[in-house]
Amino acid sequence: MLTEKMEKALNAQIRVEAESSQTYLSMASYAEVKGLEGIATFMYKHSDEERMHMLKLIKYVNERGGHAVVSELKAPKSDFGSFQDMFRELLEHEIYVSQSINELVHITLQEKDYATHNFLQWYVAEQIEEEALARNILDKINLIGNDKGGLYLFDRDVQQITVESAAGAPGA
């Protein structure tokens, strides 16, 4: 059974994950209209992944006797400037999500909710991978700079990048 404080904190994280999905969906649309199909495909996949993170939290809250609340979301922006700016924003957003997850873990310890603490360890590990992915991509984009040929090749190759390969997982 979740405490009221834990349920409220988990519902706040559900919103964070939903807004993450919307942010990456907006980035996908932006890349698509700029003719960068690879980046768009990557962002669409990333949006789907964030939605799955949200659904996993919803199921958990409901299974633990709480009530997962689907709340109103703030609209993401639709113009991201340069692709360097967009991926810099992606990294900053992942750092924000990591901080949010860390705060949730802290609350589990305060509430002595070790089941939720254990459940959230998946998210902790996932965020390490998400940040590594964002840094890896941003490093590549910074190497490219304003080289349109490099951006073309990056756009083609980014479709193959996954969280696991960016984090250096076995088999990557």
Residues 90-119: tens digit of each pLDDT = 999 999 999 999 999 999 999 999 999 999
The reported pLDDT for the residue numbered 169 is 42
pLDDT digits (tens, 9 = 90+) for 31-60: 999 999 999 999 999 999 999 999 999 999
How many residues appear in the chain?
172
Q: Which domains does the chain carry?
A: 4-166 (1.20.1260.10)
What is 1-64 written as a DSSP string? ---HHHHHHHHHHHHHHHHHHHHHHHHHHHHHHTT-HHHHHHHHHHHHHHHHHHHHHHHHHHHT
Over the stretch 74-92, which tens digit does the pLDDT of each residue have? Answer: 999 999 998 899 999 999 9
pLDDT at 155 over 80: yes
In this structure, the number of other CB atoms found within 10 A of the CB of residue 2 comes to 20
Of the candidates 52, 56, 51, the residue with the CA atom closest to the CA atom of residue 10: 56
What's the whole-model pTM score?
0.89
Judge whether residue 165 has pLDDT over 90: no
> What is the phi/psi pair of residue 134, to 5°?
-65, -40
Q: What one-character DSSP code corresponds to residue 77?
A: P
